[in-house]
Chains A and B, each alone.
Chain A
Amino acid sequence: MIRILSRDVALAVRAGGGFGLSLAFFLIVVVLVPFGVGPETAVLAPIAPGILWLGALLACLLSLDRVFALDREDGALDLLATAPVPLEGVALAKAGAHWLTTGLPLSLAAPFLAVLLGLPAPGHLWLAVSLLVGTPALSLIGTFGAALTVGLKRGGLLLSLLVLPLYVPTLIFGADVARRGAEGLALGPPLALLGAVTAGCVALLPFATAAALRVSLR
């Protein structure tokens, strides 16, 4: 499992595209926001946590259709399914690799982009924390969506339609942690709930993903 994860990370880094692309997309989204709503800090600062969470979420979405599609094209998915590793483990490793190449860099980059939107000082830390806790759930849910659509010719758009409604709880709790952090409010409850969503996803979604993969491979 570790081996699948490290191979996927190595592939993403070597191919270049998938790794840097989502970061660049995140940057562009954040840069475009002031053009849409105006440059005043009084306008930008209150919406900054939400914008940054939304930007990270969309950036996560960008690379999801590659999670299984590449392995399916070159036959590796068939070979993984026949290898002596449980498909649930493959699903978890795939989600882990996706998180390491998108969620983690996005979380680390977010505090710096937050400066562009005038997020008040204590908010940076909590923004990064909320993303670090929440983005694994985004990767796991996205991997599930990718498993549902892996056999389809035009799966990309459908994947977004399936995955985005499932992102609602994570987005609500995550953005709330970031917002409360920026306003200096108590953020225990939403952070605990965000952690619970991620923990639940880790525990349950690999089984659903593996079930969907088995059907898609048939």
Chain B
Amino acid sequence: MQTEMSLWSYANPTRFMATTRPLLPWLSALAAACLVVGLVWGFFFTPDDYRQGSTVKIIYLHVPSALMAINAWFMMLVASLIWLIRRHHVSALAAKAAAPVGVTMTLVALVTGAVWGSPMWGTWWAWDPRLTSFLILFLFYLGYMALWAAIEDPDTAADLTSVLCLVGSVFAVLSRYAVNFWNQGLHQGASLSLDKEENVADVFYIPLLVCIAGFVLLFVALVLARTRTEIRARRLHALQLRERMA
């Protein structure tokens, strides 16, 4: 086992720290570059849509943030499963680190979605099925983070939040379906989001791809940085317990 370098060896905290330290500056720089290029391109150098006018520029924030809001939860689900099955501490801490990033992405998606919809709906908030689903996802994130914060023992917290993440994922999918059922087709949900790509011309599509890449890189860089902090905090916690004992 020692001779064979498996993927799991990166789950060792010390190894994880050593591996990610040189990676982080590059990732951060790349994320910043993609975001600046994509957003400047989108904001300054793309034409207005003939129907939606300049609001089409919101697409460069809304679509990537919405994607990352869901993917962050999905990453937490995978990390929780790895913790429950293989007991890798880094995995549990990565899930904890991803939640605040996911909740921010959800907020960005909510805010930009509401702002984008406002000219069409005539109000700042409408109970559009997609937006409502993101609001529910936001509540799931809040509950998950609150449970982490409430439990003192880190391993117990990791166990219970992982179970919550699993059950929450099932109910999040169920809620998405239920919300569609609850408010079907009252708003033009489909014209708001990713489905639009099909009829979006290349002038919008290419800067959008750059922005998506930027958000993915930003997410990875932030989660790595936050996981490093969580590992340090965990070590600090262990040291403080020992200090109190001695």
Complexed CA–CA distance, A168 and B175 (Å): 6
Inter-subunit contact A166/B160 (CB<8 Å): no
B162 CB, nearest partner CB in chain A, Å: 9
Q: A148-B160, A172-B179 are in contact. Are A205 and B167 (CB under 8 A)?
A: yes
Inter-subunit contact A215/B159 (CB<8 Å): yes
Question: How many residues of A are counted as interface, with CB atoms below 8 angstroms from the partner's CB atoms?
Answer: 30
Binds B, one of A22-30, A86-94, A110-118, A157-165: A157-165
Complexed CA–CA distance, A174 and B61 (Å): 36
A216 CB, nearest partner CB in chain B, Å: 7
- Verify if A151 is at the interface (C-beta below 8 Å from B): yes
Cβ-closest chain A residue relative to B158: A215
Complexed CA–CA distance, A176 and B137 (Å): 22
Complexed CA–CA distance, A155 and B151 (Å): 10
- Verify if B146 is at the interface (C-beta below 8 Å from A): yes
B220 CB, nearest partner CB in chain A, Å: 27
| Chain A residues with a Cβ under 8 A of chain B | 144, 148-149, 151-152, 154-155, 158, 161-162, 164-166, 168-169, 172-173, 176, 189-190, 193, 197, 204-205, 208, 211-212, 215-216, 218
Complexed CA–CA distance, A172 and B151 (Å): 31
Interface of B is mostly: helix
Complexed CA–CA distance, A168 and B127 (Å): 14
Inter-subunit contact A208/B166 (CB<8 Å): yes
Inter-subunit contact B174/A169 (CB<8 Å): yes
Residues of B contacting A168 with CB < 8 Å?
Answer: 136, 171, 175, 178-179
Residues of A contacting B156 with CB < 8 Å?
Answer: 151, 215-216, 218
Cβ-closest chain A residue relative to B164: A148
Complexed CA–CA distance, A208 and B150 (Å): 19
Inter-subunit contact B174/A197 (CB<8 Å): yes
